[in-house]
Amino acid sequence: MSAETTLAALGLSSADLTGGTLTVTSPIDGSVLGQLHETPTSEMEAILAKSKAAFKAWRTVPAPRRGELIRLLGEELRAAKDDLGALVSWEAGKITSEGLGEVQEMIDICDFAVGLSRQLYGLTIASERPGHRMMETWHPTGPVGVISAFNFPVAVWSWNAALALVCGNPVIWKPSEKTPLTALACHNIFGRALERFGDAPEGLLHTLIGGADLGKALVASEDVPVISATGSTRMGRAVAPIVAERFGKCILELGGNNAMIVGPSADLEMAVRAIVFSAVGTAGQRCTTLRRLIAHNSIKDELVARLKKAYAGLPIGNPLTDGTLIGPLVDEASGAAMTAALEGAKAEGGTVFGGNRVTEGVPAAGVYMEPAIVEMPAQTKTVKTETFAPILYVLGYDDFAEAIDLQNDVPQGLSSCVFTLNMREAEQFLTAAGSDCGIANVNIGPSGAEIGGAFGGEKETGGGRESGSDAWKAYMRRQTNTVNYSDELPLAQGVKFDI
Ligand code: UN1
């Protein structure tokens, strides 16, 4: 299907797509997908006021009723899955199956959030005073600002929006300026859910189209108590101090530098499949992409040989063509960053396989790169830096403790895994002295997490958790309640204060 047909099916008219100042191009072939109207920064004040007003109404709607809105959103996403998935491919360059997978992730989080809307539980706590009861109540916080990146242009919004909305908060969304079309499409899909819902307050979702100024205004606003930001560590370093200054709360999901340790007992056949998917899938542009392979020296050469064989046959090209596994990088700057990282690795003693630009058999004007495998003598500066491209650095080790040290010795702490059939190694990897990441897996790769678990990581990854488990708590404020149902007024800690 053409981009035009897909955009029309998602309710984007030529008025939406023409006459504006933000040019959106497809990474597939450089074609212009639209000239979008940007949200003027001068409108931010009114947007914040509308969002605050929406909050006042939405916070008093019973949570299970709020869940009904997300149930409808899930239904609308099911109906729009093929179109939205295709638009993700057009705008972010993902292969068809990964575009659809991203929309499935949205549907999954909606289902999760519907259940959650009846489970926003607090604890009851034993009071030390007779005739008293203590409990915790979770309340909505206010508008939630969501800043999302180009590489998961719709799923990351949905993780945040589905939870924020059932928790009773409106959402103000600042998508990447590289992927505003998928954002507008989601805005329309949400609009359909709102229409069917009937009586939701106006202004539950605002979508800001444009550049960094809008993001800055959102981050600085005292009317936005929670900012959830996904993107580079550089972006997080800019956002976090501004939010901290005004005592707002941040949910940060920043850079990763994810590793796999492959032990001598590993099922190499399975490891190869996991490595290839997690290192080259989404052309290396997931925050969970496998970037470092730490292989036991007894199997390293064999593993690398098998990987090179697999890499040599990988279909690179138009992501919308059946059978393609590697689509384009998002833009020329990403291609240049990949080439620069490979040069840096070479200068540090690395041996590079692949990594060249592909120009034959791919659409002109797209940045198509062969994925690279780089054998490194040590964990150098280049290896410790996240480059958002399909580069896999390979390091060897002799004992398991050394492998864990290498895995942890990078500034980032998102995802990690071990391939081993040795239960001692597997269990050790998951202990306090094992992986220091937010995600640690055994016999699966570091990417492609399910929505049911909390998603995020430590150190430069920012410490935030989104999506499943109890990540919802970051979108609510906790209140401790003590109720006295006696006719006495005992003080805690045995304090006497008779008057
Ligand atoms: C991201 O790249 O920002 O675990 C999110 C994964 C996906 C989410 C990635 N479920 O790879």
Residue closest via CA to ligand 1's atom 6 equals 448
Which ligand 1 atom lies nearest to the CA of residue 151? 2
pLDDT in tens, 321-339: 999 999 999 999 999 999 9
122: how many CB neighbours lie within 10 A of its CB? 15
Ligand 1 centre and the CA of 455: distance in Å? 8
Q: What is the pLDDT of residue 161?
A: 98
The candidate with the shortest Cα–Cα distance to 471, out of 446, 452, 450, 448, is 452
Tell me what the pLDDT averaged over the chain comes to.
98
What's the one-letter identity of residue 326?
Answer: I
pTM here?
0.97
Q: Give me the numbers of helices (H) and strands (E) for the chain, helices first please.
A: 14, 21
> Which of 100, 108, 233, 287 is the best mutation target for the ligand 1 pocket, counting ligand atoms within 8 Å of the beta carbon and taking the most?
287
Q: Are 63 and 121 in contact (CB under 8 A)?
A: no
All residues at 6 or more sequence positions from 142 whose CB lies less than 8 Å from its CB, including other chains:
52, 55, 169, 223, 224, 225, 226
**Which of helix, strand or coil describes residue 416?**
strand
Ligand 1 centre and the CA of 450: distance in Å? 9
Ligand 1 centre and the CA of 491: distance in Å? 50
Ligand 1 centre and the CA of 291: distance in Å? 14
Which ligand 1 atom lies nearest to the CA of residue 451? 10
All residues at 6 or more sequence positions from 128 whose CB lies less than 8 Å from its CB, including other chains:
492
Residue closest via CA to ligand 1's atom 3 equals 287
pLDDT in tens, 53-82: 999 999 999 999 999 999 999 999 999 999
What's the one-letter identity of residue 136?
Answer: E
Which ligand 1 atom lies nearest to the CA of residue 285? 2
Q: What is the pLDDT of residue 36?
A: 98
Ligand 1 centre and the CA of 115: distance in Å? 22
Q: Is residue 439 within a helix (H) or strand (E), and if so which, with residue range?
A: strand 439-442
pLDDT in tens, 161-192: 999 999 999 999 999 999 999 999 999 999 99
Which ligand 1 atom lies nearest to the CA of residue 289? 11
Residue closest via CA to ligand 1's atom 1 equals 287
* 125 DSSP β-pair partners: 134
**Which of helix, strand or coil describes residue 374?**
strand
Q: What is the pLDDT of residue 295?
A: 98
Q: Are 259 and 395 in contact (CB under 8 A)?
A: no
Ligand 1 centre and the CA of 289: distance in Å? 8
**Distance (Å, rounded) from C-alpha 255 to C-alpha 238?**
14
Q: What is the pLDDT of residue 425?
A: 98
Ligand 1 centre and the CA of 288: distance in Å? 6
Q: Are 417 and 441 in contact (CB under 8 A)?
A: yes
Question: How would residue 1 be classed by pLDDT, with cut points 50, 70 and 90?
Answer: confident
Average of per-residue pLDDT across 195-219: 97
First to last CA, the chain: 81
Residue closest via CA to ligand 1's atom 7 equals 448
**Distance (Å, rounded) from C-alpha 308 to C-alpha 464?**
36
User: Which amino acids are annotated catalytic?
Assistant: 253, 287
Q: Are 330 and 150 in contact (CB under 8 A)?
A: yes
Which ligand 1 atom lies nearest to the CA of residue 286? 2
Q: Are 278 and 270 in contact (CB under 8 A)?
A: no
Q: What is the pLDDT of residue 102?
A: 98
Using DSSP bridges, classify how beta strands 32-36 and 124-125 pair: parallel, antiparallel or unpaired.
Answer: unpaired
> Which of 97, 105, 147, 152 is the best mutation target for the ligand 1 pocket, counting ligand atoms within 8 Å of the beta carbon and taking the most?
152
Q: Is residue 125 within a helix (H) or strand (E), and if so which, with residue range?
A: strand 124-125
pLDDT in tens, 427-461: 999 999 999 999 999 999 999 999 999 999 999 99
Length of the chain as a residue count: 499
Ligand 1 pocket, Cβ-based, cut-off 6 angstroms:
105, 151-152, 156, 230, 286-288, 447-449
Which ligand 1 atom lies nearest to the CA of residue 415? 4
Question: Which DSSP string corresponds to 292-323?
Answer: EEEEETTTHHHHHHHHHHHHHT--BS-TTSTT
What's the one-letter identity of residue 278?
Answer: S
**Distance (Å, rounded) from C-alpha 153 to C-alpha 331?**
15
Instruction: Check the CA dihedral 233-163-448-92 and report its sign.
Output: negative
Is residue 127 over pLDDT 90? yes
**Distance (Å, rounded) from C-alpha 176 to C-alpha 155?**
13
Q: Are 134 and 184 in contact (CB under 8 A)?
A: no
